[in-house]
Amino acid sequence: MEFTCSVDRIKRLNPEKVRKILDNDTTGSFQLLDVRQPYEYEEGHIPGAKRIPLSELEYRHEELDRDKQIITYCRSGHRGMAASILLCGLGFKRIYNLDGGMLNWHHEVIKGIPEERPELITGTEEVGDILMLALALEKGGFDFYTKAHETVKDQKAAEMFQTLARMEEQHMKRLYERYSQLGQDMVPPIEQLKAEAGYMEGGIKISDELVKLGSQELMDDFEALEIALENEYMSYDFYKRVAELVSDSEARKLLFELAGEERNHIHTLLQQLEEPRGDNSYNDR
């Protein structure tokens, strides 16, 4: 490897530009690369980011797709720039750096270190398999919000969870219609697919989330929206990550599309968050 790249050859992107790119990237053309240490990533990372610490990048760079445009980031921007220069020297062509790193990022983050290969994904899935998985996860979200509606004591929070449950049900119906259009010989009735789900959006277990919900002493409609936002961000992160693991190109395309839908849901919830105690009705998403 030859270090033939200089700082001047790496384009810096401000946080607003990066967020705009993420909002409009419906085909997975960009790859976010977090080069911090695992504990930093766990404390909060940008949804959809792949984690490769800078110290491991030289021998793990083959995990990155050379056809994608790569945006590196770290805590303050310096390690991210070092990673960009390293990748440039390894022959990567379209590399950018998040200017100022996470210290300059004032948008969404999610916590924790997700599984490298979630148990819900084998990598051999086709379009029909992905639609069935998405249906199951939407049903999981519906179950969670329904149970939350029955659990919380605050009336406004209960109403908000009920509204969120209806939203998940509507999305599930649209996914089912799309699945039915594949021309499968045997399409299970939607009621059969509504069997009890163990997972919800983001591939997280419903039981774990309900335990967290029950441990909260205060709950209102604002907090219910925040919980929904966390779930949607995790779902967006899940679809973006597993798209990199699926070999079928059409299934991968669908996963990026589903990630885009989750980001649209996030924007809808953010709009509601600005006026949390107004009209709780949502437009059909």
Mark residue 107 as left, alpha or beta (left: phi above 0; alpha: psi -120 to 50; beta: remaining): beta
DSSP structure class, residue 13: E
Report how far residue 239's alpha carbon sits from residue 47's, in angstroms, rounded to the nearest whole number.
10
Segments in 154-248 forming alpha helices (H): 155-180, 190-193, 206-214, 221-243
Among the listed residues 10, 18, 52, 74, the single catalytic one is: 74
Identify any residues that bridge with 32 across adjacent strands, giving them in sequence order: 71
DSSP structure class, residue 68: S
Contact 236, 246 (CB under 8 A): no
How many residues are present in the chain?
Answer: 285
Q: Is 5 a catalytic residue?
A: no
Catalytic residues, by residue number, are 74
